[in-house]
Amino acid sequence: MAGKTYGIRTYGCQMNVHDSERLAGLLETAGYERAADGSTPDVVVFNTCAVRENADNRLYGNLGQMRPVKTANPGMQIAVGGCLAQKDRGEIARRAPWVDVVFGTHNIGSLPVLLERARHNGEAQVEIKEALEVFPSSLPTRRDSAYSAWVSISVGCNNTCTFCIVPSLRGTEQDRRPADVLGEIRALVDEGVLEVTLLGQNVNSYGVEFGDRQAFGKLLRACGAIDGLERVRFTSPHPRDFTDDVIAAMAETSNVCHQLHMPLQSGSDAVLKRMRRSYRSERFLGIVENVRAAMPDAALTTDVIVGFPGETEEDFQSTVDVMRAARFASAYTFQYSQRPGTPAATLPDQVPKAVVQERYERLVSCQEQISWAENRALVGRRVELLISAGEGRKDAGTGRMTGRARDGRLCHVAPYGGVRPGDVVETVVTYAAPHHLVADGLLLSHRRTRAGDASEPRRGVPLGMPSVRPRTPVTSEQE
């Protein structure tokens, strides 16, 4: 497809961000080029999310806006993939007949062929698979960052949380073998990557498919043996399966960051039961206590749903109490929304929107105070930052760059000449805001990295863009 350009719009979770990097890799392997910012691509891909109520409205709204654009660019092709495509299937082509391709979460590798077939046959191609064809991780990739990478360790989920549509769209859990995951990480480090985030809907049950309940802790420890890998993060864990061997692996493996994003969802045991979360608040707080005992500097963050069907004021107060006890560095707070196709959508006692909104505002303000107090406690502390591209672009007003601390916190740093995205600096926190830190003082050290070199502007090469990495050879289970 020499000369043809593409653009990808990604919605939803990190798994979709990971998959979009694979879609980009596939298209570039097929000869497409990434469209320049502001230009109209020849191929537009929507990688959709189905988690929130308005996900459908947003997609069909966007597709509606694309219709006149396509009319003005007859050769343009539109493709829709991701969880909403897996759910709505042919309905998308029926409601938006100007869409050329609909593909699902289990066959992202089919995109280039489906585009070709649609062009050749002059009709829309809808291809949805019920089971995974190949692990997306084995497909070519085009990563957005030179220094940080998403590495999926499993796809799908065996849990049945009543508010969640993921298992019905991504299937039951399938685990990549450790040697395969570690092989990919070593290849990334060889390319200059400093930080990896291990991805799974429930990373703690990693290994269930090949019968090793301690596989996730072992994987973290194995990451510790990879020279050049400086930071290991992971998402999402599940409190029911979060075991002491994982806490020990985090505490005893030097490159595993002391950062834990563990979804609480609710602090009320009655609500957790209706959510079918398989743990209660006491267990959740017990994990928090054990993590803090093993890693006193750890930053914990979480997800919370406000207004789940049947939630009383007392239930809500239980959530506030748990968040006060857990002292999260930050929290993603969501207002419950009925998701057709989930058991919770038909539960009685749906909470009125006004009540949900009022509780949501109370919870956000409560957490804001906690986040701010936790951040203020870090003023005067030495902090190591990995300077980020995008986040790290110079703030027009202050010229500041931004970096991530090992505990995941965002920190704005004073402008220093020669510091590039991908470099590592050490400095001291001088100010704390509710959602970020500031280090306006002296730079204690600046380490230029290969990733930083890769982010240096070069003639004809987009900033910080590593080349397309070919298909990862699937290694057999050595261990």
Whether residue 78 contacts residue 100, with contact meaning beta carbons closer than 8 Å, is answered with yes
Q: Give the bridge partners for 80, in sequence order.
A: 46, 102
For 262, phi then psi, to 5°, come to: -125, 110
410-413 and 424-428 beta bridge pairing: unpaired
Query: In residues, how long is the chain?
Result: 479
CA neighbor of 170 nearest in space, from 63, 343, 46, 51: 51
* Sequence-separated (6 or more) residues with CB below 8 Å from residue 319: 264, 266, 267, 268, 271, 304, 306, 363
Scanning residues 164 to 193, which ones bind ligand SF4 (CB under 6 A)? 164, 166-167
Nearest Cα neighbor of 367 from 319, 335, 404 is 319
- Residue 303 or 358 having the CB closest to ligand SF4: 303
Q: Which of residues 124-153 bind ligand SF4 (CB under 6 A)?
A: none
Asked if 154 is part of the footprint of ligand SF4 (rule: CB under 6 A), the reply reads no
Write out the binding residues for ligand SF4, residues 273-292 only, by CB under 6 A.
none
Q: How far is the CB of 468 from ligand SF4 (least distance, A)?
A: 30
257 binds ligand SF4 (CB under 6 A): no
Only segment of 125-133, 157-165, 335-343, 412-420 that touches ligand SF4 (CB under 6 A): 157-165
DSSP annotation string for 114-176: HHHHHHHHTS-EEE--SS-SS-GGGS-B--S-SSEEEEE-EES-----TT--HHHHH-S-EE-
> Residue 375 CB, nearest distance to ligand SF4 (Å)?
28
- In whole angstroms, give the CA distance from residue 343 to residue 277: 13
Q: What amino acid occupies position 202?
A: N
Q: Which is nearer to ligand SF4, 13 or 187 (CB)?
A: 13
Tokens 């079918």 belong to which residue? 276
Give the C-alpha separation, 144 to 81, whole Å. 19
Helix (H, G, I), strand (E, B), or coil: what is residue 37? coil
Half-sphere exposure of residue 300: CA atoms within 13 angstroms, side-chain side? 27
Q: Name which of 266, 226, 192, 272 is nearest 454 in CA terms.
A: 192
Tokens of 314: 């007392």
> Is residue 419 a contact residue for ligand SF4 (CB under 6 A)?
no
- Least gap, CB of 239 to ligand SF4 (angstroms): 10
First to last CA, the chain: 41
In the bound complex, what is the minimum distance in angstroms from residue 201's beta carbon to ligand SF4? Answer: 4
Of 4 and 261, nearer to ligand SF4 (C-beta) is 261
Nearer to ligand SF4, 132 or 432 (CB): 132
Across the strands, what pairs with 81? 47
| Using rule CB under 6 A, residue 203 touches ligand SF4 | no
The residue from 70, 142, 238, 406 that contacts ligand SF4 (CB under 6 A) is: 238
Instruction: Tell which one of 23, 50, 157, 271 touches ligand SF4 (CB under 6 A).
Output: 157
**Residue 434 interacts with ligand SF4 (CB under 6 A): yes or no:** no
Told to check if 201 binds ligand SF4 by CB under 6 A, we report yes
Stretch that binds ligand SF4, among 147-155, 161-169, 314-322, 368-376 (CB under 6 A): 161-169
User: How many whole angstroms separate alpha carbon 36 and alpha carbon 465?
Assistant: 13
Per-residue contact string for residues 46-75; x = within reach of ligand SF4 by CB under 6 A:
------------------------------
CA distance 475 to 32: 29
Least Å distance between CB 335 and ligand SF4? 16
* The one among 159, 333, 342, 388 contacting ligand SF4 by CB under 6 A: 159
The greatest distance separating any two alpha carbons of the chain, rounded to the nearest whole angstrom, comes to 65
- Using the contact rule CB under 6 A, the part of the chain among 154-162, 216-224, 350-358, 381-389 near ligand SF4 is 154-162
Stretch that binds ligand SF4, among 26-34, 155-163, 415-423, 426-434 (CB under 6 A): 155-163
Return the axis-axis angle of helices 244-252 and 215-223, rounded to nearest 10°.
Answer: 0
Assess 235 for contact with ligand SF4 (CB under 6 A): no
Position among 76, 118, 146, 161 found at the interface with ligand SF4 (CB under 6 A):
161
Least distance to ligand SF4 from the beta carbon of 235, Å?
11
Could you tell me the smallest distance in angstroms from the CB atom of residue 150 to ligand SF4?
16
Nearest to 5 by CA among 43, 39, 46, 37: 43
Q: Which is nearer to ligand SF4, 43 or 161 (CB)?
A: 161
Size of residue set near ligand SF4 by CB under 6 A: 9
The nearest distance, CB 80 to ligand SF4, in angstroms, is: 22
Q: Is 232 in the site for ligand SF4 (CB under 6 A)?
A: no
Nearer residue to ligand SF4 within complex by CB, 159 or 333: 159
**Which residues bind to ligand SF4, rule: CB under 6 A?**
157, 159, 161, 164, 166-167, 201-202, 238
